[in-house]
Structure formats: C-alpha cells, structure tokens
A and B are shown apart, each in its own frame.
Chain A
Amino acid sequence: MCLGVYGKVLRVEGELAVVDFGGGLTRDALVGVEEVREGDYVVVHAGIIVSRLSEEEFEEVFRYVEEAVKQLAMIESRAAEYLESMKMRLEENLSGQK
C-alpha cells in the first residue's frame, strides 16, 4: 500500500535529511524516525523517512529459508540440494558486490 524507496542519508538538516537514492538521484525528506545519521540506509515513503535498514538483518531472512529447508529435508525431499545451490548463488552474488 505504500511505495518505499531505499536511500542513503547524505546529511541531516534539522527535521530534514538529504537522501541519495542511487546514481546521483538525491532528494530531501522529512525525518520520521527517532534518530538518523549521515551514512544510514533508510526507507523513504512519499517524502518521509519511515525507518532505517539494518545490514545484519539481510542474512536473517535466508536463515528462515534455511530452517524451512531443514524441515523439508526431515520430511523427505531434495531440499538440501536447493540450499546448496542457493548458497553458491549467494556467494557468487556477494563476491561480485560493487
């Protein structure tokens, strides 16, 4: 229901922050969160920062997938293979990180 775009905070000026949305696309946005600092990654919706992004949590979601696969593997399946492929793919993706 609400389009959110990820950006990186360039600087904070009172209740406003200048946010870089990638590729030189910058706009200012209202600061809608408790605290925001230069360098933070944030979610912006219609001109307001609604939350911050946490780097640590990026892998959490794949842990959920891993748990799902473990559960499937217990029942019987080729799920373990999928996990192996995913692992390889994640590695490929991350080592090519810009």
Chain B
Amino acid sequence: MITLLNIRDVVISVGQQADLRYLTKKLFRDKALASQIIKIIREYWEVLRTRKGVEEVKIMNFCGTHEYTTTHYGIRSVLPPGVNLVAGPGCPVCITPSFYVEAAVRLALEGLTLYTYGDAYKLPAVKEVGGCRSLSDARMTGADVRVVYSFLDAVRDAARHDKPSVFLAVGFETTCPAYASSIANKLVPKNLTLIMAGRLTPPAARFAVERVGTVSGVIAPGHVSTITGAGVWRFLPEEFGIPTVVSGFEPLDVLIAITLILKQLVEGEPKLMIEYSRTVTMEGNRHAKRLLAEVFDTVDAAWRGIGFIEKSGYTLNENLSQYDAFKVYGIREPSREEWRHDLLPGCMCGQVILGAAKPTDCRLFMKRCTPGTPYGPCMVSVEGACSIWARMGGRESLVEVV
C-alpha cells in the first residue's frame, strides 16, 4: 500500500523551517489535492448510494465561517448531488437577541460612546429606538458609534478619551476570552463597560440536532474547539449517533471533513474526529477556560429567533458588576417569561439558523431582505447564511457551465 510521505522530513530535507502560515495556504488551497479528495468523496457517495441505499447525506456545518469557506470556494458546486451541506446556528451576530441591540442603541442615543465589531454594527433590532433600528442607524443620527477590529482596540481607544463607553460584546467561546482576559488583567479602563451577549455553542448544537432530526453528519467548529476542546462534541456521536468532525477553515479542511464523515457513514460507526488537529486538542485551551470561568457565570440565555437555551450564555459574575453595562446603567435583562419572539414578521431566520430551511425558502429573501437593507439577522453578518447565499449563491451547480 502506498503511504503518504512525511511532510516534516520533506521540509527538513529541503533545508528550511516550515512557515506554517505559508504551508497552510499552499497545502490546503491546492487545486490538485482538492480534485483528488473530491474524487474520493464521489466514490464514497457511490458506495453509500449503491450499497447502502442512502438517498441523501445531510451534513450540518454549525459554524458560519465553515459556511463562508463552503460558499467562497464553491464547495457545494463540486459535491455529488446527494451530498448536501446545511448551515447551523453558528453565527454569533445572527443569534444575538434584539434586546441587546435595542439597549445598545438606546445608550448610544443617550450620548455614550458605543463600540462593537463591524458585523454587530449593522445588526437590526426588532423594535426601533428613537427612530433607529441598529447602531449604524444611530451613528447616522449623530451618535458616537465606533467600529473596531478587536476588544483590545476599544480598550485602548476608551482609555484615551475617558468618556463613558459601552462595548456590545457578542461572540462565542472564541471571542469571549478576549473580554475575560482584558478584565482579569485589569486592562479595561473605568469608563468602559460591556453589554455581555456571549454565548456557548454546544447547548445550541444539541438544540439544533434535537429539532432538525435528520442530520447525517456534523462539521464541528474549529476555532470554538481550540478553546472548549473537541471533547465537548462527544455527545453528538455518543447520544445521537452522528459522525462528527472538528474541522479547519481552508477548503481542503472542509473537503477532508466531508470525506471523513462519509467514511464513518460507510463504516457505520459514528465517532468524533479532529481534522483540525494542527490546532485543536480534545481538552482545549485550559488557560482561556480558566479565564472564562473566573470572569463569567454560565446562565440560561436567549438566542435570537430560537428562544431560551439552558446554560448557553455568559454573564459577568457578581463581583465584576462595575464592568456590566446593564448594572451600571440600570437596564434589566428580560427573563425567560418576558422574552418575546424577536424576529420580524415573515422572517425565517429561526429555521435557517437551525438548518431546517434554506435562505431561498424564505419569501423575503432578496426581495424585502438584502445585504444592503437586511431585514432578518441572518442577512446582516457576512457570516449569516442568508447574507452568504445572497452574495455568493449557495444554490446552483455552476461547474458544468464553467
């Protein structure tokens, strides 16, 4: 049997130290390698179809960045027709409850400096506050809204001007350590507080597979898993019998993850695999997990368009209330009983997020709701399934044409 060569030996034999940034792009975006893996995928599909009578393989990618890779590189267009990729609840912007956006807009209009990331900046709320639906609207009316690349940038900027400031802190396990680390290291200036909207992904993944039911395989989020460890996904194969592969974000990573899921389906032995082993371990990032535990409590929390999910939200713990914008500015978070369905009429984002509907199933898609004038949350984030489909077309088999 042929064996693949030892990458390390080759690199060393060429007499150079591998530049892993360069190596990643070179190996994991390589067309020739991709075309071979695509052939392997097609063979597996044939085996499943002809020998096992499988009619459809539905693979869910929880993570919006996987959805981005999928559409950006046109991966759907090279897969056999029976192998379908569906998007899951993995966009931290899409699932941020309207309530937080409304609170942020209100504080911005009251004269506070509001910071957030580019994606959350455009996120529309259900209710208008002072004629504004989003922080970008608030900026148009003169509010001081600043788009930053990182929490660290906001920390530094706020320290310079000393005006009362708020950060709309969205994000999953990958993003939240930046808040935790800055707070724990006492980098955050007194004038900066957070609207803490952080969320945990495994509870939502459980929620999605319980509701959707027919998932044949899961591509689990790579960067979330760097923090949590791949181990948090064990319940998918063990309790639900779903082959699960933690994958990286290059096109070959996704193709290999698909291969490994198909392989498991042929074997009939669902298990958890780490395709992204170059940076993901079973245990995850102990340091970051310790910071998260130190700074946040895990609570039942609302997901936009979905509702409350148990133990799925981060809040700042009691003794750090000086950083909590809600405590400092006297805003009360709605309880489970008070929480209302926070999508606009007709919007199907709730189902799209759960992988139960495709963006094109929504009658507002590309009519009332476009990337320029988003109506539902999934159209806002570059990573939202609707936005991605709108911009890149997740729909057609274009390869024959080209």
Contacts and interface: CB of A to CB of B under 8 A. Distances in A.
A and B touch in the complex (CB under 8 A): yes
Contact of B19 (A1, A84, A98): A98
Contact of B92 (A1, A48, A91): A1
A27 to B, nearest CB: 9
Contacts of B107: none
B178 A46 contact: yes
B5 interface: yes
Contact of A87 (B2, B221, B266): B2
A30 B40 CA distance: 41
A87 B7 contact: no
Contact of A75 (B5, B47, B201, B226): B47
Interface size class of A (residues with CB under 8 A): 35 or more
A47 B21 contact: no
Contact of B175 (A46, A51, A53, A69): A46
A83 B40 CA distance: 9
Interface in B126-178: 149-153, 171-172, 174-175, 177-178
Interface residues on B, range: 35 or more
Contacts of B153: 47
B275 A2 contact: no
A30 B43 contact: no
Query: Of residues B2, B152, B278, which shows the largest number of chain A Cβ atoms within 10 Å of its Cβ?
Result: B278
A55 B8 contact: yes
Nearest to A85: B36
Given A32-B285, A97-B18, A85 B32 contact: yes
B98 interface: no
A6 B248 CA distance: 12
B11 A94 contact: yes
Contacts of A61: 253, 256, 275, 277-278
B266 A71 contact: yes
A7 B20 CA distance: 8
Contacts, number: 235
B267 interface: yes
Contact of A22 (B3, B7, B21, B177): B21
Contacts of A80: 1-2
B26 interface: yes
A18 interface: no
A68 B44 CA distance: 9
A56 interface: yes
Contacts of A53: 20, 278-279
B272 to A, nearest CB: 13
B402 interface: no
Max chain B CB contacts within 10 Å: which of A50, A53, A64?
A: A50
B122 interface: no
A46 B117 contact: yes
9 closest Cβ contacts across the A-B interface?
A47-B150, A2-B174, A51-B226, A59-B7, A48-B178, A57-B278, A1-B90, A2-B223, A41-B20
Given A50-B227, A51-B227, A65-B40, 7 more contacts: A1-B174, A43-B279, A50-B288, A59-B4, A62-B7, A65-B4, A97-B14
15 contacts: A28-B152, A30-B177, A32-B178, A45-B175, A45-B178, A46-B150, A66-B3, A75-B47, A75-B266, A84-B2, A87-B5, A93-B33, A94-B7, A95-B14, A97-B22
Interface of A: 1-4, 6-8, 15, 21-22, 28-34, 41, 43, 45-48, 50-73, 75, 77-80, 82-87, 89-91, 93-95, 97-98
